[in-house]
Structure 1
Amino acid sequence: MVKLSAKCIVAGDTAVGKSTLVQLFRSDGSHFPKNYSMTATVEVSVKTVQIPDTGDSVELFLCDSPGKAIFYEMTEKLWDQPGALCLVFDVTNESSFSSCTKWLQRVRSKTLSPHLPGVLVGNKTDMAGLRAVEKGQAEEWAASNGLEYFETSAKELENFERPFQALAKAFHHLYQERVEHFQSLV
């Protein structure tokens, strides 16, 4: 039984639902924040994810980052050596999707590893009539950047746990690959 820890950067533009997704995941869906307050610093939440069929677990340190550019300089100091990345955009806001490129570059610049498990999350799918970013477009962008794509509705409590579970599994898989590689050297 192995217990791993991973610093997971949760990044994206302001008001895309990053904090809500983190709070829902941490509380197993029992806490939906009804009052929105802009995140001004990195807020860290911790949640342990069991890896199916292994007995192992990954403790995710979810670093919920502010989306406003004025906070970036302060934020980036806390991003050193991430173990995983969760990029979030609002499916009704094309600009928040376009910004994912800069967020991805910023986070990847903080790691020495060529392999950073990551997911792209299209949030607010409950607002289908206002959708500005098509699922196929987001899936294609995610795949071209080595990310797994998920769609969620924090408001409707749909799929909020899946991106984080996938990150924990990907981080665990990367660990397993490294162990196997080192064992092959012996």
Structure 2
Amino acid sequence: MVKLAAKCILAGDPTVGKTALAQIFRSDGAHFQKSYTLTTGVDLVVKTVPVPDTGDSVELFIFDSAGKELFSEMLDKLWESPNALCLVYDVTSEQSFNNCSKWLEKVRSLAPGSSLPGVLVGNKTDLAGRRAVESAQARAWALGQGLECFETSVKEMENYEAPFHCLAKQFLHLYREKVDAFHSLL
């Protein structure tokens, strides 16, 4: 039985639902706030995620950070050496989706040369009538970037756990690959 710890960066534009996603995940769906204040730095959410069929778990240290450029210098320090990435956009905002490439580039620049497990999460699917980003478009972009793709409605508590379970599984897989590579050297 292995218990690992992973630093997970939660990135995306302001108001896409990063904080709501982190909070609802931490509370197992028991806590959805109707209103949030804009995150002005970084909130830390810690949760242990069991990886099915392994007996192993990954403790995710989720850094929920401000989406404003104003805080970008501070983020560079806090985001150093990430182990996983959860990139969030709002399905009703094409701009928030387009900015995902900027966020991805920023996080990857802080982990050069390393394999960084990651997911793309389209939030606010409950606003179907206002959808601006199609699922297929997001999946195609995510696939091209080596990311898994999910859609969720934090408000409706739909699929909010799946991205984090995926990240835990990816991180454990990467860890095992490194251990196997190390053992092959002995």
- TM-score between both structures, scaled by the size of structure 1: 0.98
Deviations 1:46-88 (A, max 9, x none): 0000111111110000000101111111122100000000000
1:105 counterpart = 2:105: yes
Letter in 1 for 2:166: A
Deviations 1:131-154 (A, max 9, x none): 000000000000000000000000
1:46 counterpart = 2:56: no
- Per the alignment, residue 173 of structure 1 pairs with 173
Letter in 2 for 1:78: L
Question: Distance between the aligned counterparts of 2:135 and 2:145, measured in 1?
Answer: 15
Paired residue secondary structure (2:60):
strand
Deviation, structure 1 residue 114:
2.7
Question: Distance between the aligned counterparts of 1:181 and 1:80, measured in 2?
Answer: 25
Deviation, structure 1 residue 112:
3.5
- Per the alignment, residue 22 of structure 1 pairs with 22
Deviations 1:124-178 (A, max 9, x none): 0000110000000000000000000000000100000000000000000000111
Query: How large is the RMSD of aligned CA atoms in angstroms?
Result: 0.7
- Per the alignment, residue 56 of structure 1 pairs with 56
Identity %: 63
Moved beyond 3 Å, runs of 4+: none
Paired residue secondary structure (1:154):
coil
Paired residue secondary structure (1:48):
strand
- Per the alignment, residue 5 of structure 1 pairs with 5
- Per the alignment, residue 142 of structure 2 pairs with 142
Q: In the comparison of the two structures, how many residue pairs are matched?
A: 186
Question: Distance between the aligned counterparts of 2:112 and 2:11, measured in 1?
Answer: 19
**Per the alignment, do residues 113 and 46 of structure 1 end up closer, same or farther by CA in structure 2, a change over 3 Å counting?**
farther
Question: Distance between the aligned counterparts of 2:172 and 2:179, measured in 1?
Answer: 11
Paired residue secondary structure (1:73):
helix
Deviation, structure 1 residue 34:
1.7
Q: For 1:53-92, list aligned pairs within 5 A.
A: 53-92=53-92
Where does the alignment leave 5 or more consecutive residues of structure 2 unmatched?
none
Letter in 2 for 1:89: Y
Paired residue secondary structure (2:67):
coil
Q: For 1:152-167, list aligned pairs within 5 A.
A: 152-167=152-167
Deviation, structure 1 residue 35:
1.8
